[in-house]
């Protein structure tokens, strides 16, 4: 009997000990909060994609990373987003690199190549299979930033207050273009100003500019461009394929746990793939809606496109010589275009 009681005591004592001694419970992991500014105005298709992106990051990290979204100009001017990112004023940006080709000439080739790649898949392949992302990560690291991923889609049209059927029609007119499209349009005789995307509508409305590039057809319809420009010029020779990009401040990026870094990269690629597809679907729908609003679609003849391409190639070569990295990227893209039979 005593032996049984003793055995029972031996069993019960460890349980009592466990109940009495405090057990260390891991404290809740601190929530990391980021501020991200984008170039698209609220309510447009690309902005909605960014809303899904930040929600997806929060979901996949179980709330450990919360990214607060800010529209164009909300925190800093659109053209100064890279500088602000470097200074740590924002943690992340979704930007069109054409705004700062003066500071980083290499990104002139990674935002859009006038009359270069003819299909967004060709551009996408260069980024992910032919070293484009790696070269950009190297270039941005020198700027104190981390290049996360590109968002690639097809052509952007020109919206105009007057009909354009030839190069001659653009000469002397005031246009809004950013990136390599700027120097190309300048050589074609236009007077170019690189206004932020969000200012295009008001600039057309007030007569500050006569024609402009702004974004894809769906985004431009959402922004109401049919109210201020009654002509749509296709193909989008100045920007036949387009890439915007997710970029983070390097210090902020390095402070993220590795698993969260992987989640951000994954969510960025998911969002990019969604916009790629919706650009095609919604773009076709938007073109019809523009016409229903009284807009006329003008297709430039091949003879004019060939003339413009000669000018575009001159600009490619000019910017390829602006830095070693720009030359490296241009050579890589040129080789790919040759393999595709585009050159």
Q: Does pLDDT of 312 surpass 70?
A: yes
pLDDT at 24 over 70: no
265-287: per-residue pLDDT in tens?
999 999 999 999 999 999 999 99
- The beta strands (E) that lie in 172-218 are given as 174-176, 191-193, 211-213
Q: How large is the average pLDDT for residues 56-65?
A: 98
Rounded CA-CA distance 257/203 in Å is 44
* Alpha-carbon 293 to chain mean position: 29
Mean pLDDT for the chain overall: 91
Does residue 43 come out as left (phi exceeding 0), alpha (psi in the -120 to 50 range) or beta?
left
Going across the sheet that includes 191-193, the strands are: 191-193, 174-176, 211-213, 158-160, 231-234, 296-299
pLDDT in tens, 327-340: 999 999 999 999 99
DSSP state, 185? H
* 130-134 mean pLDDT: 98
pLDDT of residue 10: 36
Q: What is the set of domains in the chain, with CATH numbers?
A: 32-155+240-285 (3.40.190.170), 158-239+289-323 (3.40.190.10)
Whole-angstrom distance, CA of residue 51 vs CA of residue 81: 19
For 197-240, what is each residue's pLDDT tens digit? 889 999 999 999 999 999 899 999 999 999 999 999 999 999 99
Whole-number Å distance between alpha carbons of 15 and 311: 83
pTM of the model: 0.88
Tell me the pLDDT band of 29, cut-offs 50, 70 and 90.
confident
At 28 the pLDDT is 57
Percent of the chain with pLDDT over 70: 92
């Amino acid at each position: 009997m005593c032996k049984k009681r003793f055995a029972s005591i031996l069993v019960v004592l460890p349980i009592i000990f466990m109940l009495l001694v405090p057990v260390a419970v891991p404290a809740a992991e601190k929530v990391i909060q980021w501020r991200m500014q984008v170039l698209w105005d609220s309510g447009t298709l690309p902005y909605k994609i960014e809303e899904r992106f930040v929600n997806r990051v929060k979901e996949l990290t179980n709330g450990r990373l919360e990214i607060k979204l800010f529209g164009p100009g909300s925190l800093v001017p659109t053209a100064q987003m890279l500088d602000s990112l470097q200074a740590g004023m924002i943690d992340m940006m979704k930007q069109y690199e054409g705004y700062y080709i003066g500071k980083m000439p290499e990104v002139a080739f990674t935002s859009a190549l006038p009359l270069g790649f003819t299909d967004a898949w060709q551009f996408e392949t260069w980024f992910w299979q032919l070293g484009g992302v790696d070269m950009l990560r190297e270039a941005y690291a020198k700027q104190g930033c981390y290049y996360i991923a590109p968002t690639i889609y097809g052509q952007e049209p020109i919206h105009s207050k007057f009909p354009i059927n030839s190069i001659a029609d653009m000469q002397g007119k005031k246009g809004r273009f950013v990136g390599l499209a700027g120097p190309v349009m300048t050589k074609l005789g236009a007077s170019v100003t690189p206004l932020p995307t969000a200012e295009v509508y008001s600039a057309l409305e007030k007569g500050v500019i006569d024609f402009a590039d702004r974004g894809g057809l769906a985004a431009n319809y959402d922004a109401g461009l049919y109210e201020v420009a009654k002509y749509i010029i296709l193909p989008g020779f100045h920007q036949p394929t387009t890439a915007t990009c997710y970029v983070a401040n390097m210090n902020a990026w390095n402070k993220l746990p590795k698993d969260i870094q992987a989640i951000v990269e994954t969510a960025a690629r998911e969002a990019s793939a969604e916009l790629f597809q919706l650009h095609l679907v919604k773009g076709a729908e938007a073109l019809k809606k523009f016409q229903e609003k009284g807009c006329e679609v003008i297709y430039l003849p091949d003879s004019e496109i060939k003339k413009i391409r000669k000018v575009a190639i001159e600009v490619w070569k000019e910017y390829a010589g602006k830095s070693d990295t720009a030359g490296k990227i241009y050579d890589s893209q040129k080789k790919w275009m040759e393999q595709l039979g585009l050159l």
